[in-house]
């Protein structure tokens, strides 16, 4: 059955709305949690900028259920990063990050405390037992003044969690090794009608 939608002139502003926002500066933050509302949102479009010092190192994502943050090795993902240096080639699925159903997080950016990362990712949480929550991310890893003038990296990843989507209650964005001293995260919800 085809569906036709004729709302052709911006009839409302309800497609994408800000769900949450966090900014920290000169404060040690090791993770940021967001609560999923399946009655309102199908997906979340997240933008972030995070200083990876002093210990954040890598930017990870984990889903949350009623028992808390899901840390089991049930995640799958691919990774890719490409240095800005002339003649460099991308690195695909290297460094022990990628895997199929045997990882404990989804990698969004990294690594190094002498870098900042910024990017955007789409997180979809289908409200069904037969479907998995899934993530697609594009990012940049940018050297900070700690590192000085060196390569930046363009990065991307995609993955999922092999857990029923209708059991997911939220997600966490975290540093792999510890806190960040400054950063900002915005979460926009893709509204369901």
Residues 7-26 that bind other proteins (CB under 8 A): 7-18
Looking at the Cβ atoms of 136 and 182, the one nearer to other proteins is 136
| Token reading at 89 | 């080639």
Q: Is the peptide bond before 54 cis (omega within 30 degrees of 0)?
A: yes
Is residue 118 within 8 Å of residue 49, measured between CB atoms? Answer: yes
Residues 75-134 that bind other proteins (CB under 8 A): 76-78, 80, 90-95, 98-101, 122, 124, 126, 128, 130-132, 134
Rounded to whole angstroms, the Cα distance separating 110 from 75 reads: 18
Should residue 167 be labelled a site residue for other proteins when binding is judged by CB under 8 A? no
Stretch that binds other proteins, among 19-27, 54-62, 140-148, 155-163 (CB under 8 A): 155-163
Looking at the Cβ atoms of 69 and 163, the one nearer to other proteins is 163
Phi, psi of 84 (to 5 degrees): -80, -10
The distance of closest approach from Cβ of residue 98 to other proteins in the complex, given in angstroms and rounded to an integer, is 6
Looking at the Cβ atoms of 69 and 138, the one nearer to other proteins is 138
Rounded to whole angstroms, the Cα distance separating 43 from 37 reads: 10
What is the residue whose two structure tokens read 């404060």?
A: 27
The distance of closest approach from Cβ of residue 61 to other proteins in the complex, given in angstroms and rounded to an integer, is 13
Should residue 145 be labelled a site residue for other proteins when binding is judged by CB under 8 A? no
Is residue 59 within 8 Å of residue 184, measured between CB atoms? Answer: no
Rounded to whole angstroms, the Cα distance separating 43 from 163 reads: 16
Looking at the Cβ atoms of 54 and 99, the one nearer to other proteins is 99
The distance of closest approach from Cβ of residue 53 to other proteins in the complex, given in angstroms and rounded to an integer, is 28
Should residue 42 be labelled a site residue for other proteins when binding is judged by CB under 8 A? yes
Residues with Cβ within 8 Å of residue 108, at least 6 apart in sequence: 48, 59, 60, 61, 117, 119, 121, 135, 137, 139, 157, 173
What is the binding site for other proteins (CB under 8 A)? Answer: 1-18, 42-43, 45, 76-78, 80, 90-95, 98-101, 122, 124, 126, 128, 130-132, 134-136, 138, 156-160, 162, 188, 190-193
């Amino acid at each position: 059955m085809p569906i036709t939608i004729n709302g052709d002139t911006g009839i409302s502003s309800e497609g994408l709305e800000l769900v949450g926002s966090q900014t920290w500066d000169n404060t040690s933050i090791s993770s940021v949690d967001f609560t999923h509302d399946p009655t309102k949102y199908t997906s979340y479009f997240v933008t972030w900028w995070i200083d990876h010092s002093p210990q954040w190192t890598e930017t990870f994502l984990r889903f949350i259920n009623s028992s808390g943050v899901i840390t089991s090795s049930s995640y799958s993902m691919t990774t890719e990063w490409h240095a800005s240096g002339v003649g460099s080639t991308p690195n695909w699925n290297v460094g022990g990050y990628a895997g199929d159903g045997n990882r404990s997080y989804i990698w969004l950016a990294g690594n190094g405390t002498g870098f900042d990362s910024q990017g955007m990712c789409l997180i979809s949480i289908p409200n069904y037992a037969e479907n998995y929550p899934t993530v697609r991310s594009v990012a940049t890893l940018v050297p900070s003044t700690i590192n000085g003038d060196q390569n930046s990296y363009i990065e991307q990843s995609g993955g999922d969690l092999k857990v029923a989507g209708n059991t997911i209650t939220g997600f966490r964005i975290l540093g792999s090794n510890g806190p960040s001293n400054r950063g900002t995260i915005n979460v926009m919800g893709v509204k369901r009608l």
